Amino acid sequence: MGSESFEPLRTRYRTVFISDTHLGTKGCRSDFLADFLGKVSCDTLYLVGDIIDGWRLKKSWYWDSHHDEVLRLILRMARDGTDVVYIPGNHDEMFRAWLPMKLEIAGVRLCRDAVHETADGRKFLVMHGDSFDSVVRYARFLALLGDRAYVAALVVNRWFNALRRRLGLPYRSLSAWLKRQVKGAVMAIDRFEHALADEARGRGLDGVVCGHIHHAEMRDIGGVLYINDGDWVESCTALVEHEDGRLELIDWAERNRLSFLQRRVTQLEERRIAELAERRIAEIAARHISNIA
């Protein structure tokens, strides 16, 4: 019966793709995700991997009412006729063992990968993307290393060099090393994007939709459309297909202005701390240099 007393106006799409929600972790923006899922409806919903984070199950499991709400909304979509396709990623690889059974639970179909045909007849390979990890190891390491870790590294850098100075060793910049790592990560992301585009091309398809590297993107790579639907840990992004087949990346955090502003303040604060730390390191370095001179 109509116990869900108030039905909000939903934006209708032909298809919605989300991945890397990492439900079960504190990092998951399940509040934004529940808000998004409650405001859209679609014929097909692709869950493109790393939806439930099973890796954390063994360590520290985090679950609150927003996580519940996300699952409830997905199951309700399935019940109301949305074709929900669950493609396991590496963090929810426990579901991969069930693939041979062609499992369908509560209207959610489990598939290794899929081919999605848009309304305008283009065919897309849909896969998580972790099978191309060999080209992207670098970036995975850096995905974990967020801004905050960078700030922490700058502090470590100070102690690291204080120790080096005491041992009579010259100053060595840890932040310069990190910057080189970032450059390496950019190159690794490029390799990942090319590898997935090549896979789609090899299968004679028009493009690929993937996730895994938490980096939303839509671009042409040698005549193949590479699309990454991003994540719901850092960027809160989804890929949608409109009724006419047009594909669009949606940044839900940016649309939700208030929250977006809050995020910006945090980022600004973090940058300020990073700048202070860097200035402090420069001071220490200068002092160190003058000690030698």
CB of 123: closest distance to Mn ion in angstroms?
23
State in Å, rounded, how far the first CA of the chain is from the last one: 82
**Interface with Mn ion, residue 131, by CB under 5 A:** no
Taking alpha carbons only, the member of 88, 98, 94, 97 closest to residue 58 is 94
Please provide residue 210's backbone torsions phi and psi, each rounded to the nearest 5 degrees: -140, -175
Say how many residues make up the chain.
Answer: 293
**Interface with Mn ion, residue 53, by CB under 5 A:** no
> Which of 24, 54, 88, 89 lies at the binding interface for Mn ion (CB under 5 A)?
89
Which parts of 208-227 interact with Mn ion (CB under 5 A)?
212
- In degrees, rounded to 5, the angle at the alpha carbon of residue 247 between the alpha carbons of residues 243 and 249 is 125
Closest CB to Mn ion among residues 21, 157 = 21
Give the whole-angstrom CA distance, residue 241 versus residue 232.
Answer: 19
Which span (67-75, 84-92, 252-260, 272-280) binds Mn ion, by CB under 5 A?
84-92
Closest CB to Mn ion among residues 14, 140 = 140
Closest CB to Mn ion among residues 19, 118 = 19
Task: Give the gyration radius of the chain's Cα atoms.
Answer: 22
Amino acid identity, position 24:
G
Q: Are 229 and 48 in contact (CB under 8 A)?
A: yes
Strand, helix or coil for residue 212: coil
Binding to Mn ion by CB under 5 A, coded x per residue (else -) over 149-188, reads ----------------------------------------
**Interface with Mn ion, residue 22, by CB under 5 A:** no
**Interface with Mn ion, residue 230, by CB under 5 A:** no
Characterise 65 by phi-psi region: left (phi > 0), alpha (psi -120 to 50), beta (else): alpha
Q: Are 124 and 177 in contact (CB under 8 A)?
A: no
> Which of 27, 63, 76, 90 lies at the binding interface for Mn ion (CB under 5 A)?
90
CB of 281: closest distance to Mn ion in angstroms?
34
Closest CB to Mn ion among residues 54, 89 = 89
E-only strand ranges, the chain: 11-18, 40-47, 83-86, 104-105, 108-110, 114-117, 123-126, 207-210, 217-221, 224-228, 237-241, 247-251
> Which of 31, 35, 50, 199 lies at the binding interface for Mn ion (CB under 5 A)?
50
CB of 165: closest distance to Mn ion in angstroms?
41
Binders of Mn ion: how many residues, by CB under 5 A? 5
Which span (21-29, 44-52, 143-151, 245-253) binds Mn ion, by CB under 5 A?
44-52
**Interface with Mn ion, residue 234, by CB under 5 A:** no
CB of 214: closest distance to Mn ion in angstroms?
8
CB of 89: closest distance to Mn ion in angstroms?
4
In the complex, the residues that contact Mn ion under the rule CB under 5 A are 50, 89-90, 130, 212
